Amino acid sequence: MSSLGISVGLLKALLLRVPLILKTALLHGSGLSPVSGKQDLRTELTVAIIRSFMGSMAPVGVQQRRTMRDPGIQGPMWVSKVTFPAPEDAVQDAVFRAIEDLKAGDETFDIPVVSSVEAEWTGHRDGVDKNAPQPGLPEEEKYQKLQKEARTDTVILYFHGGAYFLMDPCTHRAPVCQLAKRADARVLSVRYRLAPQHPFPSALVDALVAYLSLLAPPPGSFHNTVPAKKILFSGDSAGANLCLVLLQTLLTLRRTSPTIRFHGQDIPLELPAGLALTSPWCDITRSMPSIVHNALYDYLPLPQLHHDTTYLPPKIPPDSSWPCTPPRVDFFAHASALIHPLVSPLAAHQELWKDAPPIFISVGEEGLADEGLVIARKMHQAGVPVVVDQFEGMPHCFALIIMGTSAGRLFFDRVADFCRDAVAGRVKSSGHLSYITYQQRSICEIPLEDMVALTDEEVDERMRQSGPTFRNYNPDQASLYAQARLSYPPKLYETILRHHSQTDDRFDSLLDIGCGHGNATRDLAPVFHTVVGVDPSPEMIHTARQMSGSSKSKSGKPVEFIVGHAED
């Protein structure tokens, strides 16, 4: 029944987008599309449809539930679910030490508890078709079958993407299974805690627990000890961020202590064989030029801020998850911590990457391209073996959403080659990026230093300039916005009318702060003598004025809409 509901819901959503689909196909077929020559029809349609979904704002909890629905397990894959028990507080303390060691000022963060960590062992299953159900076996027996079919003893520790607040291992089973098949490996896909309910550094603590659980299996584990030289970190988008900050945590801790206490043992803090990253999100402030320059080819929404303005809370209907208490500017981290190296790894200076294992980075011609290319350049300059691919015209995480295309197949071929080479210790860095042109017609080798014009110092400055934009955020003002701007008009309307009808405590004037498009403001105009709507967004106020028409207050005066902030 649930799968039928999902299918019907998806069908309805796609029907609403038929005009968009027809327009996109018509422009593409006639050669008038702005992305002609860089995206085929399938890619362009995929980008257009995802972009349209991302423009539809729903409460955070609703978004999370939609992106965490388990589609079930079928086809040529083994999935064995496991839970690693919570270790001592030493893991939490180690993460805190790394955060403190890398601080540049007054960064603050929440204090998470150490928790048990759920994950899914994933591997390729031979000899079954795409609709074959997974046998109803105990989880440990599934793992044994998975391990038996794995051709090597390589393990990939995988962290899914989703901006640190969406997605789940269940949403990534298909690409993770493809990675396992191509790389001849077992994959442990981690269900780390999500923001905004669990902000930084909760996910990092979970990631460290998962890695240590491979090195020193806790009670109840299905697997035997996995040597660090047989482990690779891999992830997409925010998951790639988590790979990088986990690596940076290990590098930082190793400078002061060679071991960590884990389930009663002192475990050596060894580094993995390598990292394989897809479209890494390295800058939480989103301050790099490609965010705007590559928007044409990507579905990621543009940031709702500029360097010379105050950050405004996202216009998302409220629920029990967001806005949070106390108010916070960002889903994932405190404003003061957004350019901490364990939040935005792009902020880590070149020398901090010294002694890192080999890194593979794949990006498209996407919003996050600059971040991945700059961090690759920093690592190369620090002496780290780096392999970098950029695919012309491809959107964010293209290989995961259009796996069957020639670009998707080539991506999996190249990342699998890297994984095998990293475990074998034969990765060599040329200092060049492989630029893979549209439809893989050619591969050009370009020096990493030539890919992004900004110097490291200019990158740091752009990130620092983004800091005040977030730090100017006023929690009290945000709380007021959350109540006014985000309240549904009917609810606000009914509340005020009830107050007027049930009490003698009447008001002559209404100041609607955070009025948005002014729907509730106009509805309440007949109740008050003077009505003024205030919103910091000029676009909102312009729309409100256009829509106001003949709306008048009780005194007959027209409703007034003003651009401004709460304190104004």
Residues annotated catalytic, as ranges: 237
Helix axes 18-29, 2-16, angle to 10 degrees: 60
Strand partners, 77: 124
- The H or E element spanning position 64 is helix 60-67
What distance in Å separates the CA atoms of residue 164 and residue 197, rounded to the nearest whole number? 11
What distance in Å separates the CA atoms of residue 405 and residue 217, rounded to the nearest whole number? 38
Strand partners, 511: 532
What is the secondary structure of 439-485 as a DSSP string? GG--EEEEEGGGT--S-HHHHHHHHHHHHHHHHT--HHHHHHHHHHT
Q: Give the number of other Cβ atoms within 10 Å of residue 11's Cβ.
A: 10
Structural contact between residues 528 and 510, judged by C-beta atoms closer than 8 angstroms: yes
What distance in Å separates the CA atoms of residue 148 and residue 435, rounded to the nearest whole number? 38
Strand partners, 274: 232
Q: Would the CA dihedral through 204, 207, 208, 209 be positive or negative?
A: positive
Q: Would the CA dihedral through 156, 162, 165, 167 be positive or negative?
A: negative
Q: Which of 449, 341, 412, 383 is nearest to 95 (CA)?
A: 341
